């Protein structure tokens, strides 16, 4: 059948599409700014009709009606990355967190993560009947391949982005044409502390480097300090507006990349409408499934690969907790460890973990003798390399336990240094040299 006839036959509505979701099913949903909107709304409106439906999602930007209390008991959520809107629901109320590297999700789909129904967003089809998955490639292809029913909202406002980021009309069961704005992520102007961290990180970035930038306030602050660098490249899990700004200024051009030369490579994009317009049809940008972008052996093929991620706390040994505050699951591992490892294997690579020296309005030191009880170790002491705060840089790789503690105390907030030094002197039975 000609794809245009097939397209017409498959046009559906959210109400009709959700009839393919049954009690006990697992529904895998789109991620971040590409979270579908119409099907979740229809599911929430009809939540009384469902029992024990499992929903797998990661971050969902904007309001997610399926996370509202009236859906508890009808839908259960499982996720390996939490954000503000899902934290309480998944942690306590109607779901559970499962620890997993983001890169492993595509292979888990159909196995550890069952997938009866896949619900994603894409662009309307091009002349050959292909839709771009737009701003989130991630695990979408894996879910679409194994699902019994594939429901796609073809959104006119979704940017068309290339790479390995296409599905064909023949792979879809329900096509829901629509036009609604994508949720946006706005970053604030970096504070003085964040700007200082950005400057320290920038001092570690040499011309010709390929960068991965993680999630949170710090990556944005780092990008703002890179304006005087040359020939930078991007191979990242995600990126936001700061990367587009440096592309427009010619600082990021990928000219010296040793893999995907000239291209900005990621698995998802999250930012403002201005960013979504910039990436639409932009041939410099390519998205790939997360099992490719986050594979340490792929990452390592980038000469001068530098990973820059953030964390919640670090202990004297250099154990990095990035995803839980004590027992409380706060986010997820994402690609942090994969990029730390990829960067450490890469020729002239570096991995950086950057954080403000304090949290909770300056009342807590993020550098601690011990992690908060219950905290999950994200990056181990064997993998850690550079730790950066607003007070400087500690290079932990190759350092002994005692030297690590000394280096970390030197970049801790001065208000907390006396108590850290007390613990240091008790543990190492020697005087701290300032």
Neighbouring residues of 361: CB distance < 8 A, sequence distance ≥ 6: none
Residue 309 touches ligand COA, criterion: CB under 6 A: yes
- Segment lying near ligand COA (by CB under 6 A), choices 89-97, 151-159, 173-181, 306-314: 306-314
* DSSP SS3 for 91: helix
Given 1, 360, 429, 434, the residue binding ligand COA (CB under 6 A): 360
Residue 217 touches ligand COA, criterion: CB under 6 A: yes
Apex CA 396: angle with CA 212 and CA 238, to 5°?
10
Write out the two tokens for 82.
């939490």
Report, in Å, the least distance between residue 6 CB and ligand COA: 37
Q: Kindly provide the residue ranges of all beta strands, DSSP E only, lying in 158-301, ordered along the sequence.
A: 162-163, 166-168, 174-178, 210-213, 233-234, 238-239, 264-266, 268-269, 285-287
- Residue of 153, 194, 225, 237 marked active site: 237
Report, in Å, the least distance between residue 309 CB and ligand COA: 4
* Spatial distance between the Cα atoms of 269 and 315, rounded to a whole number of angstroms: 32
Residues 363-392 that bind ligand COA (CB under 6 A): 364, 366
Report, in Å, the least distance between residue 86 CB and ligand COA: 13
User: Residue 336: in which H helix or E strand, if any?
Assistant: helix 336-345
* Spatial distance between the Cα atoms of 180 and 192, rounded to a whole number of angstroms: 37
- Segment lying near ligand COA (by CB under 6 A), choices 47-55, 214-222, 248-256, 415-423: 214-222
Sort residue 300 into left (φ over 0), alpha (ψ -120 to 50) or beta: alpha
Q: Between 48 and 419, whose beta carbon lies closer to ligand COA?
A: 419
Question: Is residue 376 a contact partner of residue 369, using CB atoms and an 8 Å limit?
Answer: no
Residue 66 touches ligand COA, criterion: CB under 6 A: no
**String of contacts with ligand COA for each residue 318-347, x by CB under 6 A:** ----xx-x----xx-xxxx-----------
Q: Between 12 and 60, whose beta carbon lies closer to ligand COA?
A: 60
Given 36, 95, 190, 214, the residue binding ligand COA (CB under 6 A): 214
Given 247, 312, 317, 387, the residue binding ligand COA (CB under 6 A): 312
The backbone torsions φ and ψ at residue 264, rounded to the nearest 5 degrees and listed phi first, read: -95, 120
Neighbouring residues of 173: CB distance < 8 A, sequence distance ≥ 6: 10, 12, 17, 20, 149, 150, 151
Residue 210 touches ligand COA, criterion: CB under 6 A: no
286 is annotated as an active-site residue = no
Given 58, 141, 169, 238, the residue binding ligand COA (CB under 6 A): 238
Residue 123 touches ligand COA, criterion: CB under 6 A: no
By annotation, the residues acting in catalysis are 237
Chain residues binding ligand COA by CB under 6 A are 214-217, 237-238, 309-313, 322-323, 325, 330-331, 333-336, 359-360, 364, 366
């Amino acid at each position: 059948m000609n794809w245009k006839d097939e397209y017409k036959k498959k046009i559906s509505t959210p109400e009709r599409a959700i009839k393919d979701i049954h009690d006990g099913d697992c529904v895998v949903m789109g991620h971040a700014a590409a979270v579908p909107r119409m099907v979740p709304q229809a599911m929430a409106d009809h939540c009384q009709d469902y029992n024990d439906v499992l929903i797998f999602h990661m971050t969902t930007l904007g309001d997610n009606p399926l996370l509202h209390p009236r859906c508890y008991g009808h839908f259960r959520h499982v996720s390996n990355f939490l954000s503000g809107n899902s934290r309480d629901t998944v942690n306590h109320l109607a779901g559970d967190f499962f620890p997993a590297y983001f890169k492993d999700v595509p292979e888990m789909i159909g196995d550890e993560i069952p997938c009866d129904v896949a619900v994603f967003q894409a662009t309307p089809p091009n002349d050959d009947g292909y839709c771009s998955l737009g701003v989130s490639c991630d695990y979408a292809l894996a879910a679409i391949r194994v699902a019994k029913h594939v429901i796609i909202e073809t959104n006119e406002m979704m940017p068309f982005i290339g790479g390995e980021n296409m599905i064909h009309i023949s792979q879809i069961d329900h096509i829901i044409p629509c036009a609604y704005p994508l949720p946006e992520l706005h970053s604030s102007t970096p504070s003085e502390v964040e700007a200082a961290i950005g400057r320290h990180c920038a001092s570690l970035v040499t011309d010709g480097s390929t960068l991965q930038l993680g999630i949170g306030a710090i990556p944005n602050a780092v990008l703002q300090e890179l304006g005087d660098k040359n020939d930078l490249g991007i191979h990242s899990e995600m990126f936001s507006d700061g990367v587009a700004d440096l592309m427009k200024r010619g600082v990021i051009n990928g000219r010296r990349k040793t893999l995907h030369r000239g291209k900005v490579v990621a698995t998802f994009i999250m930012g403002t409408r201005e960013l979504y317009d910039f990436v639409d049809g932009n041939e410099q940008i390519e998205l790939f499934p997360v099992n490719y972008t986050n594979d340490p052996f792929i990452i390592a093929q980038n000469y001068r690969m530098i990973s820059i991620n953030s964390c919640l706390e670090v202990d004297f040994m250099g154990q990095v907790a990035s995803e839980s505050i004590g027992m409380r699951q706060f986010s997820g591992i994402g690609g942090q460890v994969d990029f730390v490892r990829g960067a450490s294997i890469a020729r002239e690579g570096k991995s950086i973990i950057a954080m403000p020296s304090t949290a909770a309005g300056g009342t807590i030191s993020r550098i601690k003798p011990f992690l908060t009880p219950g905290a999950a170790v994200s990056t181990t002491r064997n993998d850690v390399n550079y730790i950066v705060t607003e007070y400087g840089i500690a290079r932990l790789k190759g350092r002994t336990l005692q030297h690590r503690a000394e280096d970390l105390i030197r970049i801790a907030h001065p208000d907390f240094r006396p108590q850290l030094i007390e613990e240091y002197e008790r543990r190492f039975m020697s005087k701290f040299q300032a």
